[in-house]
């Protein structure tokens, strides 16, 4: 017997038939492509960042443990290096400083700065760190993009961080003024560099980078030692821990040794600002890389199985014929598996191609915020293989099931015209109701009732893709709502001013005296470690007026409790603490004092990590008399420029934050990252919806062609025939919309729950717009499908359809 | 008056064959106890009105459908009750089908429509030879849509005979054709029957076609009404309807 495994002719058949069903196949492939693409994007973005980070850390010796002290003798390093578990230890000098730039600044469009001078007149906060002079750094090494370290013995050369240099278009040879410990110095840039410590360059106590107003600088150790009276001493220590050693033990030993030198407590990478933010972003991406592909691939698998089953169902006659010729069921199944292969290749190949196309720019977008010497683009093979296996398995299973069902029928039975379905009279046929329906409507309604299972599968399919649409638009609205809440409800000030040191509250009168300032409120911020049971957080404790007008804590405008602290829910949940319980607060302002405070309330805040306390209560605890570290200002809109200029001239002012700009920045950040991904999802969900609806229409047409042609023969008009077909689709679509809403809300809830983190928590707020977009998307897909189908209905060949079985 | 065929080998024999099936809520008794023998190399015409059960009988003999009760034997092998796999192999090797509506695969050319069968057959003729035999040697690469109805039916016949089946079962092969084209198709069937010795059974409601057969079997209401031989077979071109 001729047992060729591949039947060439059958391959021609499949290829030619695929050509005629190309639209339909592409639509199915699109569904798979969407699932695979989401996976490629989310997995490779995360993977790329993670690998770039790891690579940078390893190549440039990022430290494991950090300690800041007030002042410790250099000799101590010998003792530290001999501590068990310590691998490499390095001391340095690290200080805050204020910088000033003169000369033109390009591309800067702040309206305050535009007034008067072209230079960047606003105060620049900086962190300045010492570099060893005779040898390269042992830990946290710099990667020089341009230039190099200051020359040996140079007191006036500085290395600047790359994001800051780029923001101001600075390069080697340019100069910058620095106020180092109160003394103004003019420094020359010797190099522009990246540091593993500042991949995400953030000033203390802010949640978003501001490359114009905050920079990191490095100078020779000797130059800083003389500027900050640190000869023979250090105030910052970095340590790497041996592989098999316990990091906690090393930290404990360091704390013991350094306590008497004003240690603020050792902390590991997890509390290092840059590392923490990247971790946050990575965990967010990790969630997205699990939740979104699961949703998309799950939906795609379901749709694939529904669509393939129905496409094969329309081939019942061909299957019977092959069977009559003596093809075995397995040969026929293999034949249809070829069709599935075409779809899978198109879908998976397309998904990977599109994914790669989008993933690289997507990952690059993150690279705008995370500064790596080289950005390693990675594609995770395991995830891809999983996606391919799942979609292929589902595709094959559906094909085998559907084909086997048709192939196992006796050929004569399969070739026989379908037996008329059994009808039962229902309330729809009650004479009082029945006279409402014209015959076409009756046919339409009965078609749906005749195949309740098929109709429900269609409804679920459309519902799933519509649900994805809702998920996509939900993100936009929820984030919008979150930002509105933050900047309309919680932050009501125009400007936030911080001072370079604690100041008495009465000094605020200077600010009140500035013409154009209509209201001033002082606040006090203290860096603390919050500990409950085994968990701890490093963050700022905010002391604010009990009945602050400019800063609302929580959703209601209730005054702060007179005693105890108020925590944001995210923090309270993480620490597993309830109101009424005690929490330990260690002050990190040099005195290392530990306080036990009661949690007075837990509040809901969408952004940041809030820890609040009544201003007076905080000052009493600190034994300080009405001291502030900053102030919030309300400013008359038309006098903002003037107020800004006056503030800049004040030596006590360390930074001026403009709330509207912060809002704009965070919106840009979210737009670029989260919403970038979501836009792609949204477009994919839209295409998926179209693919599903269009396929449903095509299959419905294939199934009904004979019936519809018969109706045409009997004298029905084209429009009446179209009405039966499209009416049925319309009913399914309308039924699918509420389901799409329900599914979308579930997806949204899943995503929100999974994506809760330090930086922000997307509130579970559903706007009517999301529902409308989901419904409109489904309706639009239906309208477009109908439009495409119209030609087929118009060209319905009556004779042919009736003749050929 | 039944002609004595006992000298020839029985290729098909059916005994007490019944078939009932459900059409919606109606139970249809398509066959009500049919006994029939087909002999090697003969040309048989099964005549009967619509609903007489002739297509059902044809489907059961060809292994396309199963009987509700009774036996069918092909060359002494029992066909009733055998597995789907064995039935498939039986169809693949022994039976050629010709349908009223040709049932060509529209996406394949004439040659490919035949190759679809020859690829799985044991000792087939080439598609070219098969088409040559039905007089379509010059239409090898035409798609079904480029052929007339008669040509399409001849391709279908070529497809049926290409595997050199022992039996050719034709269900209303001229039913969709005008008389002139129909006669051309019958000529081809007769030629195949004579040249290859293929047992040929033609189902039709057209009495005239009976005149070219060795035997005429009439079915009525699911039963054999009569069987009689043709003393003088007419050539297809002598037929007229």
Report how far residue A779's alpha carbon sits from residue B106's, in angstroms, rounded to the nearest whole number.
35
Which residues of chain B have a CB within 8 Å of the CB of A16? 107-108
Q: Which of A9, A328, A329, A702 to mutate to test the interface with B (most CBs of B within 10 A)?
A: A9
From A412's Cα to the closest Cα of chain B, the distance in A is 5
Q: What is the mean pLDDT of chain A?
A: 83
pLDDT score of B11: 92
Strand ranges in A353-494 using DSSP code E only, listed in sequence order:
none
pLDDT score of A416: 61
The predicted model gives A755-780 an average pLDDT of 83
The predicted model gives A215-231 an average pLDDT of 94
Q: Contact A47/A381 with Cβ under 8 angstroms?
A: no
Burial class (CB in 10 A: 0-12, 13-18, 19+), A294: middle
Structure token digits, residue A411: 């050929």
Given A16, A408, A410, which is nearest B65 (Cβ)? A410
Q: How many CB atoms lie within 10 A of CB A105?
A: 19
Q: How confident is the model at residue A88 (pLDDT cuts 50, 70, 90)?
A: very high
Regions of chain B where pLDDT drops below 70 = 1-7
Question: Which range, of A143-152, A372-381, A784-793, B3-12, averages the lowest pLDDT?
Answer: B3-12
pLDDT score of B44: 95
Report how far residue A394's alpha carbon sits from residue A202's, in angstroms, rounded to the nearest whole number.
47
pLDDT score of A103: 46
Query: CA dihedral defined by A706, A712, A714, A715, rounded to 10 degrees?
Result: 170
Report how far residue A455's alpha carbon sits from residue A449's, in angstroms, rounded to the nearest whole number.
8
Q: Is the pLDDT of residue A105 over 50?
A: no
Most distant pair of Cα atoms in chain B: their distance: 50
Q: Which of B107, B152, B159, B177 to mutate to test the interface with A (most CBs of A within 10 A)?
A: B107
The predicted model gives A374-381 an average pLDDT of 76
Percent of chain A topping pLDDT 90: 27
Q: How confident is the model at residue A2 (pLDDT cuts 50, 70, 90)?
A: very low
Q: Is the CB of residue B226 less than 8 Å away from at least one CB of chain A? A: no
Q: Is the pLDDT of residue A49 over 90?
A: no
Per-domain residue ranges of chain B: 41-63+91-234
Most distant pair of Cα atoms in chain A: their distance: 104
Sign of CA dihedral A141, A147, A148, A153: negative
From B106's Cα to the closest Cα of chain A, the distance in A is 9
Q: How confident is the model at residue A18 (pLDDT cuts 50, 70, 90)?
A: confident
pLDDT score of A86: 95
Q: Which of B63, B120, B166 to mutate to test the interface with A (most CBs of A within 10 A)?
A: B120
CB pair distance less than 8 Å for B108 and A13: yes
pLDDT score of A702: 79
Phi and psi for A739 in degrees, rounded to 5? -65, -40
The predicted model gives A146-154 an average pLDDT of 93
Q: How confident is the model at residue A431 (pLDDT cuts 50, 70, 90)?
A: low
pLDDT score of A223: 93
Which residues of chain B have a CB within 8 Å of the CB of A335? none
Structure token digits, residue A659: 């709330």
Identify the closest residue of chain B to A409 by CA–CA distance: B65
Q: Is the pLDDT of residue A104 over 50?
A: no
Given B65, B84, B90, which is nearest A412 (Cβ)? B65
CB pair distance less than 8 Å for A803 and B101: yes
CATH of domain B41-63+91-234: 3.40.50.300
Which residues of chain A have a CB within 8 Å of the CB of B81? none
Q: Contact A696/A458 with Cβ under 8 angstroms?
A: yes
The radius of gyration of chain B's CA atoms, rounded to the nearest angstrom, is 17
Given A2, A327, A419, which is nearest B24 (Cβ)? A419
CB pair distance less than 8 Å for A326 and B88: yes
Identify the closest residue of chain B to A15 by CA–CA distance: B107
From A414's Cα to the closest Cα of chain B, the distance in A is 10
Pairing of strands A565-568, A611-614: antiparallel
From B23's Cα to the closest Cα of chain A, the distance in A is 5
Residue window 15-44, chain A: list those with CB within 8 Å of chain B: 16-17, 20
The predicted model gives A440-450 an average pLDDT of 76
CB pair distance less than 8 Å for B119 and A408: no
Which residues of chain A have a CB within 8 Å of the CB of B144? none
The radius of gyration of chain A's CA atoms, rounded to the nearest angstrom, is 34
Residue window 51-70, chain B: list those with CB within 8 Å of chain A: 56, 59, 62, 64-66
CB pair distance less than 8 Å for A419 and B105: no
From B117's Cα to the closest Cα of chain A, the distance in A is 6
Q: Examine the predicted complex and report whether its ipTM is higher than 0.90.
A: no
Percent of chain A topping pLDDT 70: 90
What b/e sequence results for A505-516 when a residue is b if at least 16 CB atoms lie within 10 Å of its CB, and e otherwise? eeebeebeebeb
Which residues of chain B have a CB within 8 Å of the CB of A322? 116
Q: Which of A326, A338, A416, A419 to mutate to test the interface with B (most CBs of B within 10 A)?
A: A326
pLDDT score of A559: 82
CB pair distance less than 8 Å for B112 and A420: no
Residue window 308-337, chain A: list those with CB within 8 Å of chain B: 317-318, 321-329, 331
The predicted model gives A377-404 an average pLDDT of 82
pLDDT digits 0-9 by tens, A401-430:
888 887 777 777 666 655 555 555 566 666
**Of A715, A712, A732, A730, residue with least CA distance to A793:** A712
Q: How confident is the model at residue A588 (pLDDT cuts 50, 70, 90)?
A: confident
The predicted model gives A20-46 an average pLDDT of 82
Q: Is the pLDDT of residue A277 over 80?
A: yes
pLDDT score of A435: 63
Q: Tell me, what DSSP letter sits at residue B101?
A: T
pLDDT score of A551: 87
Given B56, B84, B105, which is nearest A13 (Cβ)? B105
From A319's Cα to the closest Cα of chain B, the distance in A is 11
Which residues of chain A have a CB within 8 Å of the CB of B162? none
Which residues of chain B have a CB within 8 Å of the CB of A323? 88, 91
Residue window 84-123, chain B: list those with CB within 8 Å of chain A: 84-85, 88-93, 97, 101, 103, 105, 107-108, 112, 115-117, 119-122
């Amino acid at each position: 017997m001729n047992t060729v495994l591949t039947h060439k002719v059958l391959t021609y058949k499949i290829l030619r038939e695929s050509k005629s069903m190309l639209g339909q196949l592409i639509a199915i492939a699109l569904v798979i492509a969407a699932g695979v693409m989401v996976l490629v994007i989310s997995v490779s973005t995360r993977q790329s960042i993670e690998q770039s980070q790891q690579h940078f850390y390893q190549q440039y010796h990022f430290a494991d443990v950090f300690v800041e002290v007030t002042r410790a003798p250099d000799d101590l390093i010998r003792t530290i290096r001999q501590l068990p578990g310590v691998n490499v230890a390095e001391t340095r000098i690290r200080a805050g400083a204020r910088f000033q730039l003169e000369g033109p600044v390009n591309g800067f469009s702040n309206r305050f700065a535009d007034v008067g001078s072209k230079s960047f007149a606003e105060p620049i906060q900086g962190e300045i760190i010492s570099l060893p002079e005779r040898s390269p750094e042992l830990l946290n090494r710099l990667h020089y993009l341009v230039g190099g370290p200051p020359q040996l013995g140079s007191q006036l050369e500085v290395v600047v961080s790359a994001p800051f240099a780029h923001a101001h278009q600075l390069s080697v040879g340019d100069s910058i003024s620095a106020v180092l410990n109160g003394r103004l110095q003019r420094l020359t840039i010797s190099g522009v560099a990246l540091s593993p410590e500042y991949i995400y360059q953030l000033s203390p106590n802010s949640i978003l980078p501001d490359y114009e107003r905050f920079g990191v600088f490095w100078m020779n150790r000797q130059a800083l030692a003389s500027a900050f009276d640190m000869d023979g001493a250090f105030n910052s220590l970095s340590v790497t821990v041996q592989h098999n050693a316990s990091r906690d033990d090393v930290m404990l030993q360091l704390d013991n040794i350094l306590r008497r030198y004003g240690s603020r407590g050792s902390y590991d990478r997890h509390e290092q600002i840059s590392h923490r933010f990247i971790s946050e972003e990575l965990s967010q991406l990790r969630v997205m890389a699990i939740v979104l592909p699961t949703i998309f691939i799950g939906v795609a698998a379901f749709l694939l199985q529904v669509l393939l089953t129905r496409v094969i169902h329309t081939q019942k006659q061909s299957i019977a014929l092959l069977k009559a010729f003596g093809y075995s069921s397995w040969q026929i199944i293999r034949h249809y598996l070829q069709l599935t292969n075409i779809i899978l290749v198109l879908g998976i190949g397309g998904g990977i191609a599109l994914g790669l196309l989008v993933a690289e720019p997507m990952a690059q977008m993150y690279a705008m915020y995370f500064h790596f010497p080289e950005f390693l683009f990675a594609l995770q093979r395991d995830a891809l293989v999983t996606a391919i296996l799942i979609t292929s398995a589902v595709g094959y299973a559906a094909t085998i099931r559907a084909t086997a069902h048709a192939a196992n029928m006796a050929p004569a039975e399969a070739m026989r015209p379908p037996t008329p379905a059994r009808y039962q009279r229902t309330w729809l046929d009650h004479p009082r109701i029945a006279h409402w329906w014209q015959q076409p409507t009756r046919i339409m309604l009965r078609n749906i009732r005749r195949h309740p299972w098929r109709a429900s599968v269609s409804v679920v399919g459309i519902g799933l893709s519509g649900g994805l649409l809702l998920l996509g638009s939900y993100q936009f609205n929820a984030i919008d709502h979150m930002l509105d809440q933050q900047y309309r409800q919680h932050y009501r000030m125009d400007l936030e001013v911080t001072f370079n040191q604690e100041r008495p509250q009465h000094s605020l009168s200077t600010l009140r005296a500035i013409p154009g300032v209509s209201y001033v409120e002082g606040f006090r911020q203290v860096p603390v470690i919050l500990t409950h049971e085994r968990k701890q957080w490093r963050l700022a404790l905010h002391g604010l007026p009990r009945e602050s007008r400019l800063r609302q804590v929580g959703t209601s405008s209730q005054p702060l409790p007179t005693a105890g602290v108020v925590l944001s829910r995210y923090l309270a949940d993480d620490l597993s603490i309830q109101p009424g319980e005690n929490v330990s607060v260690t002050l990190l302002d040099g005195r290392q004092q530990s306080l036990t405070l009661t949690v007075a309330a837990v509040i809901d805040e969408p952004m940041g990590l809030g820890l609040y306390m009544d201003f007076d209560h905080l000052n009493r605890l600190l034994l300080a008399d009405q001291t502030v570290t900053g102030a919030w200002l309300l400013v008359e809109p038309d006098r903002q420029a003037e107020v800004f200029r006056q503030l800049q001239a004040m030596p006590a002012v360390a930074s001026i934050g403009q709330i509207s700009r912060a809002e704009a920045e965070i919106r840009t950040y979210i737009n670029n990252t989260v919403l970038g991904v979501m836009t792609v999802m949204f477009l994919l969900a839209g295409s998926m919806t179209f693919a599903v609806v269009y396929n449903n229409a095509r299959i419905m047409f294939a199934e009904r062609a004979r019936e519809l042609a018969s109706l045409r023969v009997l004298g029905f008009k084209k429009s009446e025939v179209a009405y039966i077909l499209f009416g049925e689709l319309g009913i399914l679509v309308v039924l699918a919309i509420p389901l799409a809403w329900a599914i979308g809300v579930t997806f949204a809830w899943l995503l929100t729950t999974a994506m809760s983190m330090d930086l922000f928590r997307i509130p579970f707020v559903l706007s009517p717009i999301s529902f409308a977009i989901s419904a409109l998307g489904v309706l639009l897909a239906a309208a477009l499908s109908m439009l495409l189908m119209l030609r087929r209905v118009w060209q319905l060949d009556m004779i042919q359809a009736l003749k050929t079985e | 008056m039944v002609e004595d065929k006992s000298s020839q080998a029985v290729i098909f024999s059916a005994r007490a064959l019944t078939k009932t099936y459900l059409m919606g809520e109606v139970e249809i008794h398509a066959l009500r106890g049919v006994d029939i023998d087909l002999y090697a190399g003969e040309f048989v015409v099964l005549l009967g009105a619509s609903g007489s059960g002739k297509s059902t009988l044809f489907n059961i003999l060809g292994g396309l459908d199963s009987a509700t009760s009774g036996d069918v034997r092909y060359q002494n092998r029992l066909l009733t009750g055998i597995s789907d796999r064995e039935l498939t192999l039986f169809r693949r090797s022994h039976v050629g089908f010709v349908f009223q509506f040709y049932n060509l695969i529209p996406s394949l050319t004439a040659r490919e429509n035949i190759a679809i069968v020859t690829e799985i057959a044991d000792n087939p003729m080439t598609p070219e030879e098969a088409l040559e035999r039905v007089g379509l040697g010059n239409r090898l690469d035409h798609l079904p849509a480029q052929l007339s109805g008669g040509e399409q039916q001849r391709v279908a016949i070529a497809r049926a005979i290409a595997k050199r089946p022992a039996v050719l079962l034709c269900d209303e092969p001229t039913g969709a054709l005008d008389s002139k084209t129909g006669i051309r198709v019958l000529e081809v069937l007769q030629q195949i029957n004579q040249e290859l010795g293929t047992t040929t059974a033609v189902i039709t409601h057209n009495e005239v076609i009976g005149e070219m057969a060795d035997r005429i079997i009439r079915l009525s209401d699911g039963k054999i009404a009569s069987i009689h031989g043709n003393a003088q077979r007419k050539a297809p071109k002598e037929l007229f309807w």
